[in-house]
Structure 1
């Protein structure tokens, strides 16, 4: 039984090897196709950092982080943004208690939040609803698009068709015909002005009496580019 199996396996490998040799002898043409699209993001992720501060020079009257957080939460609801769009990304409260397990009155707690926006103009409206001296910093963290997967798929197809059109035109110029694709490979995608491009929007330190002005920010367009390397058979 083992001998029969070995004979069949050897025969199979031989057939596979002959088929591979025949494939290698086929006339082929290798081309690259590309597609490109400039896209305006419709999802913006913003980082907002809040920090407690003292109202007086004697460090007696403190604006608590809970008060600042409530201001942020109410400003988001007033702007018509779902509360689910706001999440905590980081916090600093490790020394809020001293060795005696009592609150340290001199410690200024801070929290960082991640806010998902579809309209950047809402950003100014939200910041206006927060005590400016409680805003430590804020910046655009990243960009995205709600239909990014569909857009990528469409660009991939267009790049593939571009490769096919190139190969067909080249072969027709020498009197040959285009056959079926033998191999398709996608190059690393290119994203101009990457979704994770970071830009500082504004900063307000708790120790300074700063009036936070509306930041003038334009959402950068993103350039998506796809390249497909295709090998076609020549008939």
Structure 2
């Protein structure tokens, strides 16, 4: 009898342990909530307010026999005067690069050295650029072009557009559910679709000192501005259905 009792004492704990182990392996799956997934979008166009214009000046000779050279400092002073008269602060008028080259004549060694200098002018619009360039001797202007343009409040604009895209997604989900007699619940997941923006300088009839004029005052100011920057974002959102 005592042996039987000891055997039962050993078997019962083992059985309880096996039962507990089996109970732990039972996973009760909760029913998945009803949900709807939608994508909302928003976009906005703004004019760039930071335009970087590159101007390259180059020394030249007034006479055909390479005499009476107009040096780079003379040209620079002319450009600087135009910048000051346009009301542009010194911080927005900088030197970008300096180059120089020698001219060869047949088999002779180079005897003539001409310097060129690149400047970057930061403006809020393009209206004054033509007038600035017109202050410089026409032959001294080698090239002008727009390097890049930006919008100073782009980060704030991005935030606003993302919020609008999220609100558009919510509105879409709401009217879709109302169409089938359902109600919109809480947001379960939110995904940002990064479209970003890649603005390209676009301008038409921009008079960038392409022809010689008799006087600086004869150079009209351009009234054509760059193309607007378009910023667009999409937000994918998952909502619970009540």
Give the match for residue 155 of structure 2. 149
C-alpha deviation, 1:167, in angstroms: 0.8
Give the match for residue 195 of structure 1. 199
Q: Which has the larger radius of gyration?
A: 2
In structure 2, runs of 5+ residues without a counterpart are 1-23, 103-109
Please, which of 56, 68, 71 is the counterpart of residue 49 of structure 1? 56
In structure 2, relative to structure 1, the CA distance for the partners of 1:154 and 1:220 (3 Å cut) is same
Other structure's SS at 1:56 match: coil
TM-score where L is the length of structure 2: 0.73
C-alpha deviation, 1:190, in angstroms: 4.9
C-alpha deviation, 1:58, in angstroms: 1.3
Other structure's SS at 1:80 match: coil
Count of residues in correspondence between the two structures? 205
- Partners of 1:122 and 1:202 lie apart in 2 by 11
Contact 2:37/2:239 (CA < 8 Å) preserved in 1? yes
C-alpha deviation, 1:34, in angstroms: 0.9
Please show how residues 128-207 of structure 1 align to structure 2 within 5 Å.
128-191=134-197, 194-197=198-201, 202=208
- Partners of 1:89 and 1:181 lie apart in 2 by 51
Please, which of 112, 117, 133 is the counterpart of residue 127 of structure 1? 133
C-alpha deviation, 1:52, in angstroms: 0.9
- Partners of 1:198 and 1:142 lie apart in 2 by 11
Please, which of 205, 208, 227 is the counterpart of residue 220 of structure 1? 227
C-alpha deviation, 1:141, in angstroms: 2.4
C-alpha deviation, 1:214, in angstroms: 4.3
C-alpha deviation, 1:138, in angstroms: 0.8
TM-score where L is the length of structure 1: 0.75
Please, which of 70, 75, 82 is the counterpart of residue 75 of structure 1? 82
In structure 2, relative to structure 1, the CA distance for the partners of 1:112 and 1:159 (3 Å cut) is same
